[in-house]
Structure 1
Amino acid sequence: MKDGPEISIIAALIGDPARANILTALMSGKALTASELASEAGVTLQTASSHLSKLENASLIRVRKQGRHKYFTLGSEDVAHVLEALMGLAAGTGRLRTRPGPRDGAMRHARVCYNHLAGAMGTRMYDSLMVRDFLRHDGDMLHLTTSGQEFVAQLGLDLQSLPSPRTPLCRDCLDWSDRRSHLAGRLGRGLLAHFETLGWIRRVPDSRVIEYSKEGQKLFDRAFPIA
């Protein structure tokens, strides 16, 4: 490629199987150690350290130090969007595991996509907000309407308290399993955290899977009805 960004370098970094497993593990939004990521990638700690160094140099991941320990997270929400889109592309072209894992069904139903809700429940929430004109597209931009702001306030979420003002409030993210949009951005992140605070959902340990409580599912269905 003669002009524009050099995508081949980033593509090569993501395309390595061990590094792909490392990045996918970080899609949970949880900070993980080098040892934990080595286990996820199925490589030795020394090999994992080499992969992590390359990913950090490319800003695909970042390191957080706490005392003597180092923890790794994805470099940004943009990295998460690219990974989710690549998963959707792989699924759409038939590049799936021959033997689905025991959590595949649960992952497709509801999961964490870095810091927001994904899977069938994520696309359902997005569709419900769009149909009721709480979310609206303005060209390529997605924004929360006045009625949408009122709805969010009724849910008990304070928009002014949402962190990272440099991140868009609302953003589309292509869901790899449904291959439709779910909600990202500060609002997507805030709603996921709010659902946890309310006790509607819980994250399954060592997984991206989200489980709804019986009452939480009922309240979610009431808040986000679909035709």
Structure 2
Amino acid sequence: MKEGPDIVQIGALIGDPARANMLTALMGGRALTATELAEAGGITLQTASTHLSKLEAGGLLAQRKQGRHRYFALADDGVGKLLESIMGFAATRGHLRHRPGPKEPALRKARICYDHLAGDYGVRMLDSLIAAGAISAVGDGLSLTERGETHLTSIGIDVTGLRSTRRPLCRSCLDWSERRAHLAGSLGKALLSNFFDKGWARRTENSRSILFTSEGERRFLALFPIEADVTNKGLDGADA
């Protein structure tokens, strides 16, 4: 390709196995040290430093300094969107890496995708919001309805504030494990933060999986039902 954006450089940066593992580790939304990323990539610290410099120069990572320590994070939401899209595409083509163990069911149930909820619960939440008329889906586009704005405001989501940011309010993100869409954008981030703030769920150490408490799970499932005959109760009558 002689004209237009150069996708070769981006593809080469992501395509290296060690760099791919480090980028995936950062999909948890947390900034990590070079030592932590070296462990995620299965490489030495010296080798990791070289990879991190390339990823930073390529615009995929941003470096943060805190005292004597340096931390690395995905450069922005666009990088998270790109990585999740590639994961979803790979899953639909059957390119999966299987690591049997207790973490896999937890990841498939509920996990963090950069800064929003993914997995079975993430897909369920979007399906429920669409069925209830809170979110309108046209093609691959999503938009919050007036009814949805009223409801989400009532459970503590500052929709007006979210609209004032440059980030899209609602965005569809292909879920690699469910192979269907979950909710991203500033609204997806705000909802996950709301669950954390209420104590419904928490992040697990050294994993992207999200663990709901028994009470948090009960409230989440009541707020986002998938049965058509109780959809309206989920929007208007759930004990949220």
Q: TM-score range by the shorter chain?
A: over 0.9
**1:8 CA drift (Å):** 1.3
Task: Output the amino acid matched with 2:25.
Answer: A
**Sequence identity percentage:** 56
Preserved contact between residue 81 and residue 174 of structure 1 (Cα < 8 Å):
no
Write the distance in 1 (CA, Å) between the matches of 2:148 and 2:89: 31
Deviation of 1:164 (Å): 7.9
Work out whether residues 171 and 184 of structure 2, in 8 Å CA contact, stay in contact via their aligned partners in 1: yes
Q: CA 1:98/1:133 → structure 2, altered by over 3 Å: closer, same or farther?
A: closer
Query: How many pairs does the alignment contain?
Result: 227
Note the C-alpha offset of 1:92: 2.3
Pair 1:21 & 2:5 matched: no
In the alignment, the residues of structure 2 paired with residue 202 and residue 223 of structure 1 have an alpha-carbon distance, to the nearest angstrom, of 18
Q: 46-55 or 76-85: which moved more?
A: 76-85
Extract structure 1 runs of 4+ deviating beyond 3 A: 137-141, 160-164
> 2:139 & 2:84 partners in 1: Cα distance?
22
| 1:105-124 aligned within 5 A | 105-124=105-124
Q: Deviations over 1:139-194 (max 9, x none)?
A: 65422111000110121222244498111111111111111111111110000000
Q: Retained in 1: the 8 A contact 2:163–2:169?
A: no
The AA in structure 2 aligned to 1:55 is L
Tell me the alpha carbon deviations over residues 26-63 of structure 1, each in whole angstroms, 9 at most, x when there is no partner.
Answer: 00000101111011111111110110011001111101
Secondary structure, aligned partner of 2:188: helix
Q: Residue 92 of structure 1 aligns to which amino acid in structure 2? A: T
In the aligned structure 2, how far is the partner of 1:209 from the partner of 1:184? Answer: 17
Q: Distance in 2 between matches of 1:100 and 1:75?
A: 31
**Root-mean-square deviation (Å):** 1.6
Q: How far 1:138 moved relative to its partner? A: 5.4
- The 1-side partners of 2:219 and 2:183 are apart by 19
Report if the CA contact (8 A) 1:80-1:114 is conserved.
Answer: yes
Aligned to 2:234: none
SS at match of 2:205: coil
CA contact (8 A) 1:87 1:176 kept: yes
Gaps of 5+ in 1: none
TM-score, length of structure 1 as denominator length: 0.95
How has the CA–CA distance of structure 1 residues 128 and 98 changed in structure 2, closer, same or farther, with 3 Å as cutoff?
closer
Segment drifting more, 89-98 vs 61-70: 89-98
Q: Which amino acid aligns with 1:7?
A: I
TM-score calculated relative to the size of structure 2: 0.90
